[in-house]
Structure formats: structure tokens, C-alpha cells
Amino acid sequence: EPQILVGLLTDATGFPLHVGAFAGNSAETHTMLPMITRFQEAYQLDEVTVVADAGMFSAANKQALIDAGLHYILSVKTPTVPEVIETWRRENPGEDYTHGQIWTQASASDGRKHTTPNTVTHFQYSHDRARRSLRGIKEQVAKAKRAVDGDIAIKRNRYIDLSAPNKKVNYALAAKHRALAGIK
């Protein structure tokens, strides 16, 4: 049976603003820019800010938005401790983040350090997000320890270093993840 993919643009409250149809075999990541372009043309809009989650925001989509001159807000977890937060931690040793604390860092959209910054990234700390992440990390490290000790079978666990001569718990990775807990 033929299928279609429906694209829907909404405002901040979820009110539908624009609807579009695409071939059913189109990936969502390939429909975002055409939907936005059609919306801009239909309503003669010069400036649009795209707000999306990581699922809709591939690297290609991000670059396409930049090339189209559009603004965007993206909510994702960061894989490394950002430079601005590392600086804050060095300047405030032993001090905990506060709920809602925000750091701002200008950077180049292509990740190069020696170019003019054209992107601003805001990082926010959430106490509740941190609590959930830390609980998950604690449980996974405990499970990794039990697996390394031979108490349970190893299926898959990010905190077990299988590249070492003997299996061992990767405490360095757990520490890195703890440092990022609550930051998005």
C-alpha cells in the first residue's frame, strides 16, 4: 500500500502552523528543510528559528540550516565537558552547579577553533536530570563490577573495558559521565 509521511510545524504551544506531505520512504531528517522553506514562502517570513530535538537534527540538517541562513535551537546532551564548563570548574573548585545554571560559549559551527565564531551554545544544568543520570551511572558501574567479578554474565555494558588484558571496570569513563550529569 502507498504510504505518505506528514510533516507538521507547530508553535511553542503545539498549535499547528503548517502541514506538508512527503513520500512514505522519506527519512524525517530529509523533510525538515523543505517543510521550513515552504512555510517561509507561504507566509513571507524572513527569519525563522528552528527548535528541534536530536532525532530530527542530523549533521547534514544542521549544515543545511546554517547554509540557508536560518537560526536554530537544538537540545542534545554533550559527549564531552565543554570548555566553558571546564573553565568554571577550575575557577570554582569544590563548588556544585546550581539548578538552572547556564553557561554560554561562542564557537564555529564546523568545530574549528581558529575561525570566527558563528554559533552560540548554551549549556544548562538541571538537578533532576543530574539525579537521574547519576543513579543510572551508579547502577551500571555496580553491574559492570559484578560482571568483571564473574557474578553475572557480560552482555553489554559501557563501563567494562574489554580491550584490557583482563576485563576491568572503566572508572575513567564513569567519571567523565558523572562530570556531564545534568548538563544539556
Q: What is the rounded distance in angstroms from the CA atom of residue 73 to the CA atom of residue 75?
A: 7
pLDDT of residue 142 exceeding 80:
yes
Q: What is the pLDDT of residue 85?
A: 93
Predicted confidence (pLDDT) per residue in 144-163, tens digit: 999 988 888 877 888 998 87
Q: Which three cell numbers stand for residue 35?
A: 517543510
Q: Which three cell numbers stand for residue 46?
A: 524572513
Predicted confidence (pLDDT) per residue in 8-43, tens digit: 888 888 899 999 888 888 877 678 888 888 999 998
Asked whether the beta carbons of 109 and 121 are under 8 A apart, the reply is: no
Asked whether the beta carbons of 29 and 61 are under 8 A apart, the reply is: yes
Q: What is the pLDDT of residue 175?
A: 93
Q: Where are the domains of the chain?
A: 4-75, 83-124, 127-180
Asked whether the beta carbons of 178 and 137 are under 8 A apart, the reply is: yes
Q: What is the pLDDT of residue 114?
A: 66
Among the listed residues 13, 183, 6, the one whose alpha carbon sits nearest the alpha carbon of residue 99:
183
Q: What is the pLDDT of residue 51?
A: 83
Asked whether the beta carbons of 158 and 172 are under 8 A apart, the reply is: no
| Rounded (10°) angle between helices 171-180 and 127-148 | 170
Give how far Cα 101 sits from Cα of 6, 108, 144, 146, 150, Å.
37, 23, 32, 36, 42
Q: What is the pLDDT of residue 140?
A: 94
Among the listed residues 117, 134, 123, the one whose alpha carbon sits nearest the alpha carbon of residue 179:
134
Predicted confidence (pLDDT) per residue in 46-61, tens digit: 888 888 777 777 778 8
Residue with the larger pLDDT of the pair 56 and 124? 124
DSSP 125: B
Predicted confidence (pLDDT) per residue in 72-111, tens digit: 887 778 888 899 999 999 999 989 999 999 999 888 766 6
Q: What is the rounded distance in angstroms from the CA atom of residue 122 to the CA atom of residue 103?
A: 6
Give how far Cα 148 sits from Cα of 93, 134, 139, Å.
33, 21, 14
Q: Using DSSP, state whether 182 is helix, strand or coil.
A: coil
